[in-house]
Structure 1
Amino acid sequence: MKVYLVRHGEPSYTPCTQRHLKGQGRDLAALNDDGINQILTTTMPLLIGNDAQIILTSPYTRALQSASIIAAKTGLITKSVHDLHEWIPDLTFNYTSYKELKAIYQHFYEHKGIKDEIALRDEYAVWEDIETFRDRVNSALLPYYGLYSSVIVVAHGMVIQSLCGRHIGYGEVFQMEFHPDMKFPEWQFTAPKIETHDLKISYHESLLKNKADILDEQTK
């Protein structure tokens, strides 16, 4: 099965931070203006003339929104596939800060995604292990093998890396062949780039900024 892997556009986590959302609550983040433009100007030209029959997408907002733009341009049906969601950094779904998230990522990479006895001694061993993650992604695509000869998959950085072995940017496309007996590429355990997207802006700071903007408008 031919697969066009598409990474979603850039999201904005500011509304999630302002509302003190934690864990997967942060995955309600939608695309910012740059993210929408990335799908329109980067993704769509790379999909011109493709032979995809359906769009399969992660259920997270940033992926669903990206898929909806592609669907509007291609006329393809979109199907949300639960297990195409991103790697889970915290299986307790309790992380609230950039500092916590960064520590969890670093712990995952230090232990190469394996929860051995040493890794489990640490409080940061709350992440989804690499074998479980890859099995989940593989199982998400298997039902469509044989049903379709070509699909677009809109997903996330680590989901895409698990399938093709490389990191791609927002809105970029990578074409690959998927089959049940495929061998996963070796995972590149290099220090990850944590995209903060204003994670450090507090709710109080945001309110002050909004109030200042309103006062500024009133004095014009």
Structure 2
Amino acid sequence: MKLLLVRHGEPSYTPCTQRELKGQGRDLAALNDDGIHQILSVSVPKLVDRGVEIILSSPYTRSLQSAAIIASKLGLITKVVHDLHEWIPDLTFNYSSFKELKFIYSDFYEHKGIRKPPVLEPSELHWEELETFRNRVENALKPFCTVYDCVAVVSHGMVIQSLTGKTVGYGEVVEIEFDENFVWPQWVFKEP
């Protein structure tokens, strides 16, 4: 199956910060005006006439809004696939700032996506391990392999990086082949 991986447009976290939202509450961030423009000017042109049969989207607002824009331009339906959401930086869902998030990302990269020791102390960071993350994404995509030939997947930077080995910008589109024998690319443990 051909996957056209689309990173959502640029979001604005200002409303989330103003409301002091924590953890996944921050994932309610919608696209800012630049993000809408990125989807319209970068993503949509790369998806037109590509044979896309359906759009799969992460449940996070920034991806859903991006998928809705694409769907309206291509005349397609969007299916929300829960496990296409972004890597979980804090399984306790308590982080509340970009400073804290940056620290969590650094820890993930420093430990190459493997938490040590396996049993966490309360003071340790509780991010989603790379293997767990990849298994979640793979299991989310596999059911579509036998149904579709070409799918647009609107998701997140780390989801796309895990599938391609590449860091992509907002609204960018990357094509890969995906099937039940998919081989994960080497993860580059370099902070974006």
**What TM-score comes out, normalization by structure 2 length?**
0.96
Assess, with a 3 A threshold, how the Cα gap between structure 1 residues 38 and 124 changes in structure 2: closer, same or farther. Answer: farther
Q: Secondary structure at the match of 2:175?
A: strand
1-side partners of 2:30 and 2:60: how far apart? Answer: 9
2:152 is aligned with 1:170: no
1:46 maps to amino acid: K
2:116 aligns with 116
Give CA deviations for 1:32-79 in whole Å, capped at 9, x if unaligned.
000000000011111121101000000000000000000000011100
Mapped to 2, the partners of 1:33 and 1:119 lie a distance apart of 43
- What is the rounded CA distance, in whole Å, between the counterparts of 1:124 and 1:113 in structure 2? 14
* Deviation of the 1:118 alpha carbon: 8.3
Q: Counterpart of 2:101 in structure 1: which amino acid?
A: L
1:133 aligns to 2:148 (yes or no): no
Change (3 A) 1:24 1:86: same
Residue 7, structure 1, aligned to residue 2, structure 2: no
Q: What's the CA shift for 1:147?
A: 0.5
Q: Is the 8 A contact 1:68 1:78 kept in 2?
A: yes
1:123 CA displacement: 3.2
Identity %: 65
Q: Given residue 167 of structure 1, which amino acid in structure 2 is its aligned partner?
A: T
Give 1:183's aligned residue: 183
Matched AA of 1:76: L
Shift of 1:125: 2.5
Is the counterpart of residue 70 in structure 1 residue 70 in structure 2?
Answer: yes
How large is the RMSD of aligned CA atoms in angstroms?
1.4
Question: 1:196 matched to which residue of 2?
Answer: none
**Which residue does the alignment assign to 2:51?**
51
| C-alpha contact 1:111 1:119 (8 A) present in aligned 2 | no
- 1:78-93 to structure 2, matched below 5 A, reads 78-93=78-93
Q: Find the residue that maps to 1:26 and give its secondary structure.
A: helix
> The residue matched to 2:179 in structure 1 has which SS?
coil
Q: What amino acid maps onto 1:60 in structure 2?
A: Y
SS state of the match for residue 5, structure 1? strand
Q: Which amino acid aligns with 2:38?
A: Q
- Work out the CA distance in 1 between the residues paired with 2:91 and 2:85: 13
What amino acid does structure 2 have at the position aligned with 1:2? K
What is the correspondence of 1:138-157 to structure 2 with a 5 Å cutoff?
138-157=138-157
- TM (norm. structure 1) is 0.84
Larger radius of gyration: 1
Residue 151 of structure 1: SS of its match in structure 2? Answer: strand
- Name 1:61's counterpart in structure 2: 61
2:114 is paired with a residue whose SS is coil
Alignment match, 1:218: none
How many residues are matched? 192
Task: Give the partner amino acid of 2:104.
Answer: I
| Contact residue 58 and residue 83 of structure 1 kept, 8 A | yes
Higher mean C-alpha displacement, 57-66 vs 99-108: 99-108
User: Is this contact kept in 2: 1:83–1:137, CA < 8 A?
Assistant: yes
Q: Any residues of structure 2 matched to 1:193-208 within 5 Å, and which?
A: none
- Secondary structure in 2 matching 1:134: helix
Partner of 1:170, secondary structure, is coil
Relative to structure 1, is the Cα distance of residues 15 and 95 closer, same or farther in structure 2, using a 3 angstrom cutoff?
same
Q: What residue identity is the alignment partner of 1:183?
A: V
Structure 1: which 5+ runs fail to align?
193-220
Return closer, same or farther for 1:125/1:109 CA change in 2, 3 Å cut-off. same
